Amino acid sequence: QVQLVESGGGLVQAGGSLRLSCAASGRDFSVYAVGWFRQVPGKEREFVATISQSGGRTYYANSVKGRFTISRDNAKKTVYLQMNSLKPEDTAVYYCAAGQLTDYVIDTYDYWGQGTQVTVSS
């Protein structure tokens, strides 16, 4: 199996930036696509971004396109989510997940991290 640990969340003012990290261990990291998802209380978990195994293809939710950037460093077994121009609507728990397909569908992913809280004020 693959174990995933998110980090980098915190409190930031609107317009600010954060970089989330997803560190992996276990199986060969390069065989997995990785996605970022977010969830707020009372709402369904929603897709944010995903990246292919080699990093050659990326896809974003319309709500974050142009503001967020997903990237990966397979040598370090880490995927990043750079979040710029943050809005209060971005407040959520952010999760990374690994799976076989570069997709927006939640059930495509097999392994999930514990999540990290992002709070955007103002």
Give per-residue pLDDT as tens, 18-60: 999 999 998 788 889 999 999 999 999 999 999 999 999 999 9
103 in Cβ contact with 53 (< 8 Å): no
Residue-level pLDDT at 26: 86
Instruction: Please state, for a pLDDT cut of 90, what percent of the chain lies above it.
Output: 86
CA distance linking residue 79 with residue 74, whole number of Å: 8
- Whether the per-residue pLDDT at 9 is higher than 90: the answer is yes
Task: Enumerate residues 6+ apart whose C-beta is below 8 A from 48.
Answer: 35, 36, 37, 38, 60, 61, 64, 68, 81, 94
Q: What's the DSSP call for residue 105? A: -
Residue-level pLDDT at 1: 83
Place of tokens 């600010």: 16
Query: In the predicted model, what is the mean pLDDT of residues 64-68?
Result: 98
